[in-house]
Amino acid sequence: MNKELWALKGNLVWAEKAGEMSMLPGGYILMEGEEIKGVCDKLPEDYADARVEDYGDSIITPSFSDMHLHAPQYPMMGMAMDLQLLEWLQNYAFPMEANYAREDFARLTYKKLAKELISRGTTRVCIFSSLHRKATNILMDELEAAGITGYAGKVNMDRNGGVNLQETTEESARETRLWLEENKDRKLVKPMLTPRFIPSCTDELMEELGKIAKENPDLPTQSHLSENLEEIEWVKQLHPDCTHYYQAYEKYGLWKDGTVMAHCVYCDEKERKAMKDAGVWAIHCPDSNTNIASGIAPIRIMLQEGIKVAMGSDVAGGAKLSMPEAATDAVRVSRLRWLFSGKKEDFLTVADVLYLITGAGQEYFGAKPGFGAGDKLHAVVLDDSDLAYNPFITLDRRLERIFYQFSPACVKAVYSVGVKRI
Ligand SMILES: [Zn+2]
Tell me the per-residue pLDDT of 372-390, one tens digit each, with 9 for 90 and over: 999 999 999 999 999 999 9
Q: What is the residue-averaged pLDDT of the chain?
A: 97
Q: What is the pLDDT of residue 2?
A: 83
Report the distance separating Cα 358 and Cα 379, nearest Å.
9
Residue 162 pLDDT > 90: no
Residue-wise pLDDT for 58-89, tens only, equals 999 999 999 999 999 999 999 999 999 999 99
Q: Are residues 224 and 279 in the same domain?
A: yes
Distance 226 CA to ligand 1 centre (A): 11
Distance 90 CA to ligand 1 centre (A): 14
| 105 falls within a domain | yes
Final residue in a domain of this structure, among 279, 309, 344? 344
Cβ contact 381:60 at 8 Å: yes
Residue 163 pLDDT > 90: no
Percent of the chain whose predicted confidence (pLDDT) is above 90: 99
| 362 falls within a domain | no
User: What's CA 386's distance to the chain center, in Å?
Assistant: 28
Q: What's the pTM? A: 0.98
Report the distance separating Cα 74 and Cα 30, nearest Å.
37
Single-letter residue type at 100: Y
Tally the domains of the chain.
2
Q: Are residues 101 and 163 in the same domain?
A: yes
* DSSP characters over 114-140: HHHHHHTTEEEEEEE--S-HHHHHHHH
Residues 6+ apart with CB under 8 A from 186: 140, 144
User: What's CA 103's distance to the chain center, in Å?
Assistant: 25
What CATH number does residue 92 fall under? 3.20.20.140
Q: Are residues 263 and 403 in the same domain?
A: no
Q: Are residues 38 and 164 in the same domain?
A: no
Residue-wise pLDDT for 273-304, tens only, equals 999 999 999 999 999 999 999 999 999 999 99
Range of the domain at 108: 70-344
| 404 falls within a domain | yes
Residue 409 pLDDT > 80: yes
Mark the residues whose beta carbon lies below 5 A from ion ligand 1: 262, 314
Residues 6+ apart with CB under 8 A from 68: 126, 128, 222, 260, 262, 283, 285, 311, 312, 313, 314
Distance 71 CA to ligand 1 centre (A): 10
Residue-wise pLDDT for 195-223, tens only, equals 999 999 999 999 999 999 999 999 999 99
What CATH number does residue 375 fall under? 2.30.40.10
Final residue in a domain of this structure, among 344, 379, 404? 344
Q: Are residues 56 and 85 in the same domain?
A: no
